[in-house]
């Protein structure tokens, strides 16, 4: 073998193993993050963490019951406002639509997907907090809902498009008109994919902190109704992690573990559910 | 998610004559209208977003004009607002993040697209997708309690010793600062570089690889000299996409950058970014001018990410559309 060939072959092996190392480093980051959170936060997870209100500032103990409920309420609002609009908009793109409007909607959805979440916070602040003159659960929910819409919309569209033509033609042949075809044939056929998109979008906004900082704000007590500032898991993690007390830091780890656990479990379950295949693929 | 070839294209299937189903007369039109309204709401929200940012930043725009972008002073008490330290901080941290994330992400993408068996490749991609789903406040948490102490005691002193002659690595090692924020950002954007790059690499036609191998190229040579160049526009697209993410990232950066409006050459210095100053000061902003200056920063951030995202999408579209093999000769 010439020296050049030896050089080329060893470069080949070297560079290929380097790319393998890159892949290893990247994926190991997830396991490292998860392991570190379990190690640090696992021991502070207790009954009172889930059931109690935060202790007075500076005192040890207490829990995050209000933050967990607050996060759920915010997610509920996000789903309530965001999902129907995203879903119907997706149906419009895939089933109706003309020339210019679908292009504009699609482009807007992609643009909105890329807008930094903190800017969405400013928007919700201008839209809800400024007219109402106070922070509220409603404002936080709307901020999250605006982030849910584009994801659900694009996802719904792409899954509806994957429904084969034969199903639509069959439905027409049976005498259904277009909206019956959509409601009784196309939507059910794509329902699993659509549900996946909805759940993934909700899991994503569940971890958002930035849009909540000046919309839902924070609260050390229960937040009754929808009209008052509320605590939420991500914001509490942020406040506690940057706060001065040792006990806060421990609780931030525990809350981080809960949040990460919820987000990852949702993601894994939903993605596993999706890859099991959709009904129409078996035909 | 690609469309399958046999999927119906909208509008192509005309609804059959409705005369047999008189009772549903008009139902199609109503359905059309309802879904159209939903889609229009999204567009309306986007228009309203731009409008609000523009109107609410009017006071600051009128008062400071273009000098807003080159003024270093940020003094809410005396009402002097300049965006330079924040724009600088945002750009520097994003640049550091790209320097780390692009080689790592593209390297991993090459491994996943070219070398790994399909099963391994798809499960590793799954893990990388999960990594992209980790909330940013979690990265911040690890940044504060793990990375910052590590930077202060180990990494920064080591860098100072070896590369300390560069102005980039001088000054006291606080642990927090541009470099730490950049590293956290890098970990956060790697999954984006990886998944998009992998997709564009996979879109390069198989013939290209086989032709290179048949000419006697090693696996690496065929990858580096044929496949990567063919996919390079799409890879640039993934970099822009990741950059747009990095620019707008808030929580993790806020927690480790030091929150000090400073323009410093050293990466060890504490700084501030646009998103962080919004996160820290927005809810406490007193006075209209203060609020309006912050909203103008939001507008800047919005425009930056808007342009980058548009560019990224265009580039990715160009490569994957061309992917089925026809390369310019």
Whether B136 contacts chain A with CB within 8 A: yes
> pTM score, two decimals?
0.89
Q: Does A53 touch chain B (CB under 8 A)?
A: no
Sequential DSSP letters for B110-162: HIIIIIS-HHHHHHHHHHHHHHHHS-HHHHHHHIIIIIHHHIIIIIHHHHHHH
A25, A92, A234 member nearest B104 (Cβ): A25
Cβ-contact B277, B86 below 8 angstroms: yes
Q: Across-strand partners of B7?
A: A164
What number of other Cβ atoms are within 10 A of residue B53's Cβ?
21
Q: Where are the domains of chain A?
A: 3-43, 47-282
pLDDT band at B98 (very low <50, low <70, confident <90, very high): very high
Q: What is the pLDDT of residue A257?
A: 95
Minimal C-alpha gap between A42 and chain B (Å): 15
CB-closest option in A11, A241, A252 to B220: A11
**CB within 8 Å: B16 and A118:** no
- pLDDT of residue B8 exceeding 60, the answer is no
CB B201 within 8 A of CB B110: yes
Which range (A31-40, B23-32, B122-131) has the least confidence?
B23-32
Contact: B35, A92; criterion CB under 8 Å = yes
Q: What is the pLDDT of residue A282?
A: 36
Looking at residue A211, what is its pLDDT?
A: 93
Q: Give A110's contacts in chain B (Cβ within 8 Å).
A: 309, 313
Calpha distance B127→A28 (Å, rounded): 9
Is it the case that residue A3 has pLDDT exceeding 50?
yes
Q: Which residue has the tokens 């800047």?
A: B300
Is the minimum CB–CB distance between B8 and chain A shorter than 8 Å?
Answer: yes
Inter-residue contact B171 to B270 (CB < 8 Å): no
State how far the Cα of A180 lies from the Cα of B16, in Å rounded to an integer: 12
Domain segments of chain B as ranges:
25-56, 61-322
Whether residue A281 is predicted with pLDDT greater than 50 in this model: the reply is no
Distance, in Å, from the CA atom of A61 to the CA atom of A48, rounded to the nearest integer, reads: 8
When pLDDT is cut at 50, 70 and 90, the band that residue A77 belongs to is: very high
Helix then strand then coil, in percent of chain A rounded to 5, is 75, 0, 20
- For chain B, give the mean pLDDT: 87
CATH architecture classification, B61-322: Orthogonal Bundle (1.10)
| Chain B interface test: which of A17, A122, A162 (most B C-beta within 10 Å) | A122
Bridge-based pairing of strands B80-81 and B74-75 is antiparallel
User: In this complex, is the C-beta atom of B296 within 8 Å of any C-beta atom belonging to chain A?
Assistant: no
Task: Work out the average pLDDT over B231-256.
Answer: 92
Q: What are A35-72's pLDDT values in tens digits?
A: 999 999 888 888 888 888 888 887 777 888 999 999 99
Query: How do residues B268-316 score in pLDDT, each as one tens digit?
Result: 999 999 999 999 999 888 888 999 999 999 999 999 999 998 888 888 7
The correct answer on CATH 1.10.1740.10 for the domain covering A47-282 is no
Instruction: Report pLDDT for B25.
Output: 55
Length of chain B: 329
Q: What are the Cα distances from residue A236, in Å, to A51, A220, B193?
A: 15, 9, 30
C-alpha to C-alpha distance for B282 and B290, rounded to whole angstroms: 9
Residues 58-97 of B with CB under 8 A from A: none
Which tokens belong to B220?
Answer: 């690496």
pLDDT band at B62 (very low <50, low <70, confident <90, very high): very high
- Quick check: B136 and A207 CB within 8 A? yes
**What local confidence, expressed as pLDDT, does residue B171 receive?**
84
A271/B contact by beta carbon, under 8 A: yes
Please say if the pLDDT value at position B54 is more than 80. yes
Contact across the interface for B220 and A16, Cβ inside 8 Å? yes
pLDDT at B23 over 80: no
pLDDT of residue A1: 67
Q: Which two tokens stand for residue A45?
A: 């997870």
Confidence of residue A274 (pLDDT cuts 50, 70, 90): confident
Mean pLDDT (chain A) is 90
Q: What is the pLDDT of residues B197-222, one digit of tens each?
A: 999 999 888 888 999 999 999 999 99
Chain B residue nearest residue A22, CA to CA: B108
Three-state DSSP class for residue B318: helix
Task: Give the residue-averaged pLDDT of A179-201.
Answer: 91
In this complex, do A210 and B191 lie within 8 Å of one another by their Cβ atoms? no
pLDDT at B22: 52
Provide the percentage of residues in chain B whose pLDDT is more than 70: 90
**Confidence band, pLDDT 50/70/90 cuts, at residue B188:** very high
pLDDT tens digits, one per residue of A89-138: 999 999 887 788 898 999 899 889 989 999 999 999 999 999 999 999 99
pLDDT at A280 over 70: no
Which residues of chain A lie closer than 8 angstroms to B127, CB-CB?
27, 30
CB contact under 8 A, A122 and B190: no
Instruction: Answer whether residue B327 shows pLDDT above 50.
Output: no
**Chain B interface, mutation test: which of A1, A10, A24, A26, most B Cβ atoms within 10 Å?**
A26
Does the distance separating the beta carbons of A127 and B146 come in below 8 Å? Answer: no
When comparing pLDDT for B322 and B313, which is higher?
B313
């Amino acid at each position: 073998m010439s020296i050049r060939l030896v050089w080329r072959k060893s470069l080949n092996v070297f560079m290929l193993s380097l790319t393998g190392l890159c892949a290893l480093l990247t994926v190991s980051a997830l396991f490292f993050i998860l392991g570190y959170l379990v190690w640090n936060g696992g021991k502070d997870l207790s009954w009172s963490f889930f059931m109690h209100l935060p202790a007075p500032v500076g005192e040890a103990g207490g829990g995050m019951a209000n933050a967990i409920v607050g996060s759920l309420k915010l997610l509920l609002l996000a789903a309530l406002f965001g999902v129907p609009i995203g879903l119907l908009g997706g149906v419009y793109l895939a089933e109706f639509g003309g020339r210019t409007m679908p292009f504009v909607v699609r482009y807007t959805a992609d643009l909105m997907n890329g807008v930094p979440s903190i800017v969405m916070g400013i928007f919700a602040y201008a839209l809800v907090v400024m007219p109402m003159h106070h922070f509220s659960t409603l404002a936080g929910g709307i901020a999250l809902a605006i982030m849910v819409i584009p994801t659900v919309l694009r996802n719904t569209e792409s899954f509806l498009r994957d429904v084969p033509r034969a199903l639509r033609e069959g439905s027409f042949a049976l005498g259904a008109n277009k909206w019956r075809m959509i409601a009784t044939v196309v939507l059910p056929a794509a329902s699993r994919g659509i549900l996946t998109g909805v759940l993934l979008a909700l899991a994503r906004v569940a971890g958002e902190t930035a849009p909540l900082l000046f919309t839902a704000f924070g609260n050390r007590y229960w937040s009754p109704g929808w009209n008052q500032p509320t605590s939420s898991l991500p914001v509490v993690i942020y406040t506690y992690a940057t706060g001065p007390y040792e006990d806060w830091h421990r609780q931030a780890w525990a809350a981080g573990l809960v949040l990460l656990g919820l987000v990852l479990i949702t993601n894994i379950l939903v993605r596993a559910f999706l890859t099991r295949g959709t009904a129409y693929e078996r035909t | 998610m690609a469309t399958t070839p046999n999927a119906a294209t909208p509008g192509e299937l005309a609804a059959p004559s409705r005369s047999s189903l008189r009772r549903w007369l008009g139902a199609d039109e109503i359905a059309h209208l309802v879904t159209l309204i939903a889609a229009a709401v999204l567009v309306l929200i986007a228009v309203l977003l731009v409008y609000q940012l523009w109107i609410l930043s009017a006071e600051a725009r009128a008062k400071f004009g273009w000098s807003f972008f080159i003024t270093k002073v940020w003094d809410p008490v005396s009402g002097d607002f300049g965006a330079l330290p924040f724009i600088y901080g945002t750009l520097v941290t994003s640049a550091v993040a790209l320097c780390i994330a692009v080689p790592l992400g593209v390297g991993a993408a090459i491994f996943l697209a070219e070398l790994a068996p399909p099963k391994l490749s798809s499960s590793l991609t799954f893990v990388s997708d999960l990594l992209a789903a980790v909330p940013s406040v979690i990265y911040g948490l690890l940044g504060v309690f793990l990375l910052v102490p590590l930077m202060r005691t180990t990494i920064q002193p080591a860098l100072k010793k070896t590369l300390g002659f560069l102005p980039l690595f001088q000054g006291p090692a606080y642990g927090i600062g541009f470099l730490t924020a950049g590293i956290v950002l890098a970990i956060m954007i790697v999954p984006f570089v990886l998944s998009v790059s992998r997709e564009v690499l996979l879109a390069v036609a198989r013939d290209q690889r086989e032709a290179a191998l048949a000419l006697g190229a090693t696996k690496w040579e065929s990858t580096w000299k044929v496949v990567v160049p063919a996919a390079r526009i799409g890879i640039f697209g993934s970099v822009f996409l990741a950059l747009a993410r990095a620019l707008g990232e808030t929580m993790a950066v806020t927690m480790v950058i030091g929150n000090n409006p400073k323009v410093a050459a050293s990466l060890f210095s504490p700084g501030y970014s646009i998103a962080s100053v919004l996160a820290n000061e927005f809810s406490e902003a007193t006075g209209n001018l203060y609020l309006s200056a912050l909203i103008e920063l939001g507008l800047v951030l919005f425009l930056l990410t808007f342009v980058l995202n548009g560019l990224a999408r265009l580039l990715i579209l160009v490569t994957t559309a061309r992917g089925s093999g026809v390369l310019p000769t």
